[in-house]
Structure 1
Amino acid sequence: MKTAAVFFADGFEDIEALSPVDYLRRAGVEVYTVGVKGTPFNDTMIVTSSHNVPMIMDMSLDTYMKKFGDSIPDCVVCPGGGKGAINLSECTTLLNHLEKAWDAGRLVAAICAAPAVVLGKTKIPAGKKWTCYPDMEGESKPEYLSGYSNKVFVTDGNLVTSRGPGAAEEFAMELVRILAGDVMYKKVHDSSQQR
């Protein structure tokens, strides 16, 4: 079974974070919601979205690191939301983990502000095509700007990036296609289109 971790911090954008969780779970991927910055709650935490929706995570980042150690899921996902992306970007443990995932050939995905604000602090965008929320590209390292595209959605090898909430479904479905294959992609897509 394929695995994915979605990293949440206070100020995350609801649809950008929950679409990958929802669609990947529908596709049979084991998804962990991981709280990076929020309110401690038992072995996990409560993280509050940009629209003031509190969510209980499956685990905190500390618990995640203790549980999985050096094992890395097949996919790591950073949602956007201006404040949420900043909160993720301030966590050195997360940034190091994302780089380890990249070095291990795992799928790294980010949407909205996160490609520039979070991944832009790592080596991941080097030599890659990528996109982010309009006018946020300057938040990345200057040497990454040559790879920036104003497309809504970009996949370049193991890097998947998208501009914002309006592309959240397409972003999530691309992760389904890569992790679960074309047959499951069609099944999840078709079931979401039925009324």
Structure 2
Amino acid sequence: MKTVLVPLAQGCEELEAITIIDLLRRAGITVITAGLDEKPVKASRGVMLIPDTTLDNAVKQSLDMIVLPGGLPGADHLNNDPRIHQLLKEMAQQGKPIAAICAAPKVLANAGLLANKSATSYPGVLENMEVPDMHFKDVPVLKDGNIITSRGPGTAMDFALELIDTLVGHEIRTQVEASLVRA
């Protein structure tokens, strides 16, 4: 079974976090939510989230993917945490998938993971960053090698479905999507 870490920082975008967690679990993927500390997380719209564990405990697990929800100031808190940068770099070195949505792709950029990659983000987040040979694209979801990025709350479901496709295949993605009755 695949295991995914979703770090939850104070001020994260709850729609993105919950959509990612919910859809991945529907696909039979183990999702570990981890707070940067031991406190409950107050998301950007005031929803209280209780992480499964702390980041320090979560990184002891064998992880197949890390997914960063966006939102502000949540993405800033992730970006300012050296443990997140270290984990992203380790997973990249192992060739494992790394994903970020909304404002969180800036964490990938600041960790040096978007050089020579195509990526997307919430409007205004990546376009003006000076990342060597990064190609910004205004698309809902973008996969470039092991990096998956997305635009924001409105693209969270498509983003989560792409994560499922990447981890467990198109058949499971199709089953999960069908059960959502999107059309």
The question of a shared fold, defined as TM-score above 0.5 by the shorter chain, is answered with yes
Show structure 1 runs of 5+ residues with no match: none
C-alpha separation in 2, matches of 1:24 and 1:30: 8
1:187 to 2:175 alignment: yes
> Residues 96-135 of structure 1 correspond to what in structure 2 (within 5 A)?
96-116=86-106, 118-135=107-124
1:49 to 2:43 alignment: yes
Runs ≥4 in structure 1, deviation > 4 angstroms?
none
- CA distance 1:139–1:93, shift in 2 (3 Å): farther
How many correspondences in the alignment? 183
**% same residue:** 38
Residues 73-117 of structure 1, C-alpha deviation per residue, up to 9 Å, x if partnerless? 11100000020000101100111001101111111000000002x
| AA at the equivalent of 1:7 | P
- Using the TM superposition, give the Cα deviation of residue 151 of structure 1 relative to its aligned residue in structure 2, in angstroms: 1.6
Q: Which deviates more, 73-82 or 142-151? A: 142-151
What TM-score results when the alignment is normalised by the length of structure 2?
0.94
Partner residue, 1:159: 147
Partner residue, 1:90: 80
Show structure 2 runs of 5+ residues with no match: none
1:175 to 2:163 alignment: yes
- Using the TM superposition, give the Cα deviation of residue 146 of structure 1 relative to its aligned residue in structure 2, in angstroms: 3.7
- Using the TM superposition, give the Cα deviation of residue 54 of structure 1 relative to its aligned residue in structure 2, in angstroms: 1.0
- CA distance 1:144–1:22, shift in 2 (3 Å): farther
CA RMSD of aligned residues (A): 1.6
Partner residue, 2:2: 2
Name the one with the larger helix percent. Answer: 1
| AA at the equivalent of 2:119 | W
| AA at the equivalent of 1:29 | I
| AA at the equivalent of 2:47 | V
C-alpha separation in 1, matches of 2:92 and 2:36: 19
Residues 9-64 of structure 1, C-alpha deviation per residue, up to 9 Å, x if partnerless? 00000111111111110001111001115xx3xxxx31110011111111011222
What TM-score results when the alignment is normalised by the length of structure 1?
0.89
- CA distance 1:155–1:50, shift in 2 (3 Å): same
3-state DSSP of counterpart to 2:178: helix
Conserved? CA contact 1:138–1:145, under 8 Å: no
Conserved? CA contact 1:120–1:144, under 8 Å: no
- Using the TM superposition, give the Cα deviation of residue 143 of structure 1 relative to its aligned residue in structure 2, in angstroms: 2.6
